[in-house]
Chain A
């Protein structure tokens, strides 16, 4: 498979009145042509900042301190503002979280969808509008020809997100970044949008980086999953690796706090105790250690490296060190290991 995007050792800092916040502390990943990578993590873990760094759509006080973002071998961080404008909306495009506020309220939606074409391609306005109509039909806006002249407020939330998706795919981007595209929508509409994204991916063959805090959504769309915590990836692997052979205690915590069919009033939903660390002063050791009941002394002292679990599956936890004691994961995780064995995987 072709690697089209390689992020290497990305560090992003934010200058605030209280000091420098180290929001991203060394993130590396790559993206293959046509695949879907999901980045999951709780609010503030740095998911959005990671992907916004790719398009350099960060707030003014952000500083990409270190690292490189190679797109077909070309470092995007070295590009001029104009060079980036040529990438944005053309090669790499983005779907934002809140469809209610993502569209320009004073511009007809047809024009908004056609805009990237007019910016990047030397096409006539008529051709761009024809193409916009076609794409609006593709994303499931009924009667697009008539509705092109309508304004965002004349559409429902789900329809607006379809329009935002239309804007993102109108120029057939190689990479589509979806930043929590379903968070602001109700559950039935969420499922429709996920199906739409999958369908579009097959039709236009784009790669997707999908950000979410909803593991249920990940299972339905991702090929690979990265779990993010306090500005770092703590575990990444295939979707089966993460769901059925998780190794990091944080991943266990996330999976354990998902509601299942067995969840009833008697056995309440599990949660991970505590709060994420303040990244103004990131901890010396493992950032998850204070909330981790499996934490060892070394977790306080030194950040764990990535231990290889299997091909393409890595986790940053000292528990995988050969000298680490054997721990007993939560019951629900053990069940997942069983399932993994049935799938033909080998559990450590």
Chain B
């Protein structure tokens, strides 16, 4: 197992290296420079500023320099945000984004599993229909529409939660709900399909034949086996939640990373674009790694190393 994880970590860095390289050259292909809209600068001044940031060198030299910095954990300095180091920029804004992202993923996944399981157990009843309806709503309503609706009713009309504020847990409820709809719908649909299959399998029949009550059949045998494919979609879902959070953060005025990402792209803030891309990629690759390791814990058949004999 340890050998496997080490190998995966090596690939993780290889992936990040490729992503960083691609992003770097793609970014350089964008028209304009970070200083294109600074009309008051004379050509001489521009030259000086460019030289100061090393932008007068060839793209390849810039690339080697950047990668050298990256190896030392240096993501460079932002051109736009008061010359702050990019790591500091991300650090400041990481907490709110991570908090609502994680809350939404956990809430959506847990509720989705429950909803899907209930729908499967009560297959072809009104409970099933209702659950399917809810999950399709969750899947099809874009998070920003839901965000605005929640904001209008729960905050503006009924004053239960703040409209757009970031201080305590209260203020994270609405953005979390808006972001949780998608994972909820996704997980519920997967869970239902899988659990319907599992419930009609031979080992569930054997579990009943052992004298397990219906409740125990579900909790001891059906749930765990139904979870296996659900785990697979957690990775891609985390990406959707992350991208969704960019807009939702804006709606609720949350000082998160998403907002900053959009700004850095429109202003050609190279180091920030690079830094955020690498950060998001890192997060994603780590989530995928965790999911793969989690897989082994849930399903012994794909447990690696000394466990599986096949």
| Residues of A participating in the B interface, judged by any CB pair closer than 8 Å | 55, 57, 81-82, 85-90, 93-94, 96-98, 101-108, 115-116, 119-120, 151, 153-154, 164, 167
What 1/0 flags go to B288-310 for Cβ under 8 Å of A? 00000000001111000000111
- Chain B residues touching A, majority SS: helix
- Among A57, A96, A151, which residue has its beta carbon within 8 angstroms of that of B301? A151
Contact A167 B202 (CB under 8 A): no
Contact A119 B203 (CB under 8 A): no
CB distance from A173 to the nearest CB of B (A): 10
Contact A88 B208 (CB under 8 A): yes
**CB closest residue in chain A, given B299:** A106
Complex Cα distance, B309 from A154, in Å, reads 6
- Among A108, A120, A164, which residue has its beta carbon within 8 angstroms of that of B211? A120
> CB within 8 Å of A: which of B216-255?
216, 220-221, 224-225, 228
Contact B300 A89 (CB under 8 A): no
Contact A103 B203 (CB under 8 A): yes
CB distance from A176 to the nearest CB of B (A): 11
Q: Tell whether A105 pairs with B210 under 8 Å between CB atoms, given A57-B205, A153-B300.
A: no
CB distance from B246 to the nearest CB of A (A): 37
Which residues of chain A are near B224, meaning CB under 8 Å?
A: 106-107
- Among B206, B213, B216, which residue has its beta carbon within 8 angstroms of that of A103? B206
- Among B205, B210, B213, which residue has its beta carbon within 8 angstroms of that of A167? B210
Contact A102 B301 (CB under 8 A): no
CB distance from A12 to the nearest CB of B (A): 17
Complex Cα distance, B86 from A12, in Å, reads 73
Which residues of chain A are near B225, meaning CB under 8 Å?
A: 104-106
Contact A94 B209 (CB under 8 A): yes
Contact A105 B301 (CB under 8 A): yes
Residues of B in contact, count (CB < 8 Å): 26
Query: Please, could you name 27 A-B residue pairs with CB atoms under 8 Å apart, sorted by A?
Result: A57-B205, A82-B213, A88-B208, A88-B209, A88-B210, A89-B209, A89-B210, A93-B209, A94-B206, A96-B202, A97-B202, A102-B202, A102-B205, A102-B206, A103-B203, A104-B221, A105-B203, A105-B225, A105-B299, A106-B224, A106-B299, A106-B300, A108-B300, A116-B211, A119-B216, A154-B309, A164-B206
Which residues of chain B are near A116, meaning CB under 8 Å?
A: 210-211
Complex Cα distance, B208 from A82, in Å, reads 12
Which residues of chain A are near B206, meaning CB under 8 Å?
A: 94, 96, 102-104, 164, 167
Which residues of chain A are near B221, meaning CB under 8 Å?
A: 104, 107
> CB within 8 Å of A: which of B102-128?
none
CB distance from B91 to the nearest CB of A (A): 40
Complex Cα distance, B220 from A82, in Å, reads 18
Q: Let me know if B207 is at the binding interface, CB within 8 A.
A: yes
Which residues of chain A are near B210, meaning CB under 8 Å?
A: 88-89, 93, 115-116, 119, 167
Contact B209 A151 (CB under 8 A): no
Q: Let me know if B99 is at the binding interface, CB within 8 A.
A: no
**CB closest residue in chain B, given A100:** B202
Which residues of chain A are near B216, meaning CB under 8 Å?
A: 119
> CB within 8 Å of A: which of B174-208?
201-203, 205-208
Name the residue in B205, B298, B308 with the highest tally of chain A Cβ atoms < 10 Å from its Cβ.
B205
Which residues of chain B are near A153, meaning CB under 8 Å?
A: 300-301, 308, 310
CB distance from B285 to the nearest CB of A (A): 27
Name the residue in A93, A96, A97, A115 with the highest tally of chain B Cβ atoms < 10 Å from its Cβ.
A115
Complex Cα distance, B201 from A129, in Å, reads 25
CB distance from B210 to the nearest CB of A (A): 4
Contact A104 B208 (CB under 8 A): no
Contact A104 B212 (CB under 8 A): no
Complex Cα distance, B213 from A70, in Å, reads 22
**CB closest residue in chain A, given B209:** A94
Name the residue in B205, B206, B216, B221 with the highest tally of chain A Cβ atoms < 10 Å from its Cβ.
B206
Complex Cα distance, B219 from A115, in Å, reads 14
Contact B203 A85 (CB under 8 A): no
Q: Tell whether A106 pairs with B212 under 8 Å between CB atoms, given A96-B206, A153-B310.
A: no
